[in-house]
Amino acid sequence: MQKLRRMQKLKRSRNPCQRLYISQLRSSLVQSDTRGFLSDNSVHLAVGAEQIDLLDKACFGRPVRTVEKNKLWFQLSFEEAFYLSYSLKCLNIDGSGDTSPQNDVELWHYMQSQKQTFPCLYKAYSYLRMKNWVVRSGAQYGVDFIVYRHHPARVHSEYGVLILSDGDDNDLNRRSRVWSDIHCTTRLLGSVAKILLVLYVNKNGANNESPLCLANYSVEERTITRWSPEQCRKKKCSPCSLSMIQEPGNTPSYGHNKLYQM
């Protein structure tokens, strides 16, 4: 049986070094006028050794090996690149030919055209970053992101993050719609000491025409864990704890649907 709980709000990670590294990275990218280049579903940067170090410390992207000896390249996901470009205002991104965006809105449209789920994924990514969490790809564990309190070289990640939305983002919402999916995900994450965190992105009627819509989006948090009767008795769990409710058709009901007391 799965147990779903409303979080008191995902706590801000107490990681002052992370803020310092991001500030140093921002200054370095602005001073050097570093430019990113669109490449399929990622963005590539040609950077120096100092910026490679700062990108690693601030936990953005990954280095890419090339045959060019006089250039060092770094690869960013769309979410990472747009965060640096739109939120931190420290990265300009170019394309090739007609695909070269001239402003934030055109860049937003391009990324959305390449990745339908980009608006909700970016909202979740920026939401976690603003809480000072280190956010990395969760593809290895079958989730959207994994998050760390500190640099991944220092600590293990605590949560595997799955993003759902209220819109027509079928690529997001078709996942984990049956209990077998929930069991598989929680068991996989549990085997590597992680908790499943579901972030439900509510668009509140806003469209996706520009990044300004992000201000209208809201994020709701839920953690899903396996429920153990023995552990519950030992910990004397409150009878008012919230549990996931199974609706007709074996479809799990998340935070945006009804929650009932056990």
Q: What is the pLDDT of residue 209?
A: 92
Closest CA to 45 of 80, 10, 12: 80
What are the structure tokens assigned to 139, written together?
């593809």
Catalytic site residue from 194, 200, 217, 254: 194
Q: Is the pLDDT of residue 168 over 50?
A: yes
Q: Which domain holds residue 121?
A: 2-261
Supply the mean pLDDT for the chain.
Answer: 82
Split at pLDDT 50, 70, 90, the class of 246 is very low
Q: What is the pLDDT of residue 178?
A: 72
Q: Within its chain, how far is the Cα of 145 from the centroid?
A: 5
Q: With 0-12 CB in 10 A as exposed, 13-18 as middle and 19+ as buried, what is 65? A: exposed
Give the CATH number for residue 189. 3.40.1350.10
Which residue, chain included where needed, has tokens 């990745």?
Answer: 115
Q: Is the pLDDT of residue 260 over 70?
A: no
Q: Compute the average pLDDT of residues 51-59.
A: 93
Q: Kindly report the three-state secondary structure assignment for every residue of 145-208.
A: EEEECCCCCCCCCCEEEEEEECCCCHHHHCCCCCHHHHHHHHHHHHHCCCEEEEEEEECCCCCC
Catalytic site residue from 110, 122, 125, 148: 148
Residue 117: in which H helix or E strand, if any?
Answer: none
Split at pLDDT 50, 70, 90, the class of 248 is very low
Angle in degrees, CA 232, 2, 134, rounded to 5: 95
**How many domains are contained in the chain?**
1
Q: What is the pLDDT of residue 18?
A: 86
Question: Reduced to 3 states, what is the DSSP secondary structure of residue 78?
Answer: helix
For the question of residue 148 being annotated catalytic, the response is yes
User: Per mean pLDDT, which range of 3-17, 140-154, 180-194, 242-256 is the poorest?
Assistant: 242-256
What are the structure tokens assigned to 199, written together?
């972030």
Residue 187 or 175, more confident:
187
Residue 246 or 116, more confident:
116
Which residues have CB under 8 Å from 6's CB, separation 6+?
221, 222, 242, 255, 259
**What is the model's pTM?**
0.83
> How are beta strands 218-226 and 2-6 bridged, if at all?
antiparallel
Q: Is the pLDDT of residue 225 over 90?
A: no
Q: Is the pLDDT of residue 245 over 70?
A: no
Q: Is the pLDDT of residue 241 over 50?
A: no
Question: Reduced to 3 states, what is the DSSP secondary structure of residue 26?
Answer: helix
Q: What is the pLDDT of residue 247?
A: 34
Q: Is the pLDDT of residue 243 over 50?
A: no
> How are beta strands 35-39 and 42-47 bridged, if at all?
antiparallel
DSSP 140: G
One-letter amino acid identity for 252? P
pLDDT in tens, 97-123: 666 788 999 999 999 999 999 999 999
93 within 8 A of 76, measured Cβ to Cβ: no
